[in-house]
Structure 1
């Protein structure tokens, strides 16, 4: 169905998890001349907007792509993100596919010297060379910023910042000196819209079209100790298998990585469904950047919660049981089924919604959502091991032709393995 505006309802509710795990991102639509959505400007509403800093820029972009279910948030539309001049050199931009993001860059202000203005040009040129599109406001049309204008992909004209009679000369000047698309922003009346459209402006943003809407998402944040383990592994250039082992130990870490690498901002054309593939696609340099950003947006929650511990036991038990009966390549998927079977509890939202935010192989989804397919009997047996229901345990074990001894030994190994993971924390 076509993209439509909803200026009243959030696209997701907060669920039941704690408020510390709530990411709230406001988006305001940017429309084309047919009133279709061209893109969204995003604003962080999770915390008080005390200051706009390089750190808050990185957090907003990271949260938007990692947490807030990017399909619900922006779909395939262009994302406009406000930046500080300081954040333009930030390593977080290395994680983003340039074609997906427009960087809204402020001018330094009236007190800036010609040397200060010129000093930012190499950074802006480097961003353009890397494929990023840059948006400036109408201040860039001042004589002092003449060297910046050719670098603009968009110029946003704030209709509250200049008198109506200046609209025509501003549009004329911008059109003559740049290839930038013009965006009329803070459009609040039909008259303002018609005036700018008549001047040839093609993109519009403002309350006359839609107020910003809130998009909420629950996050599951790994413990800082686990993230630091990952960072240390990457820094010493550990083998992919060693990094994969750490991802297997923490369901929150692996969930965040798969969701991030499959987000629209990362720009991949195929879905990544295994931890090893994710590590290989991302590479050590980007994996380090991702882990560092995850560390800055996480909180030190101490020991993993009981539900996370149970998820790890399930994953390991399913992996061990699958090793008895399935080909080796299926064991990783069995582990994923076990770990992600408790995503609803970890996120505080229905499992179906949780699974919408991460790419998984169809057999994994079949087991989790429909209790069907090759992994379903293993999940049923794993749950029976937790329940203490002897009849259910016997039925599930018999269905897989596994003896009580085999299952009990695997369960003991899984419990021991999960306990060993947190002993060092």
Structure 2
């Protein structure tokens, strides 16, 4: 049962999600909550707020989790599967022999170990037989020093994770150096910004975006666009017939969907459809993150009675990474898209209620709990409710992701 939690993706060399690192708000220093946690609070959360299990939060990928030393030494909960969970240990205690004992102990329990180290000092050589992955903070290391030292870990079959990778150039550098996995939001940034016109193949998708952001809804024109594109028709039906969205009736056409779901929900799915087709060869996690943001902002909008028709709150979250999807500056893109003014303002860094929703979504993604607390006060929304809404958005995003990825979820490595 996890109510207060955030996640950050760890991507492989092909920019596919390998795992998620989990951050726990109700645990010491974002660690897994200790078994001594207040049981009364736990029961209250379970009764009143939606909670997640590990497969929900990690999208059926591996989970990297920090544990307090006393939790590790006393034995991990039986509910944690060594096949799915990687134990993270922080190598910050100089000369502390208990860390090596802890590695041996965790290894005997069957878990893989990721050692987080910012020095790569030779003294860690004795740990190599017991660790599986080494995480390095790339913001604090000298590149020459890294280049000279990574080989001894590679030779020992220890996989390398580059942490704090925030640019495409940084990703390329550490990939070429031999790192296996990458953590940071480099994938959510444009690779090479261009202000060229969108290709003709994407103009139809822009037209669909305009339909989703308009107060009116011309079902005939939208139906014509979708019916003449087999790929769009197929994906629309996959979206709408996803069990996460529709558990009762099989939808066979846009008109059928409109009658069943209503105009506002169809606008949201048309926007999703357009965004998914814009992504080309971009990492799937970029779309997945957009889906979660869209649902979370939409739920916030419902709480504050903002952004119903057109679904402006939903669109702000969904389109918040258009610049990374299309490798163009957001301001330049917004000029081309027929979005309402409040959506444009929020996406371009302006200050309004919708931009506050987006800021809150980003705070959850990074586990910035202090910012979550501050914004919850500004919005006058109970923090526990905010966590519940974000949990709901994660589940919804997982469901939508399944409808666009025929190989989801991929097997754990």
Normalised by the size of structure 1, how large is the TM-score? 0.39
Normalised by the size of structure 2, how large is the TM-score? 0.40
User: Which has the larger Rg?
Assistant: 1
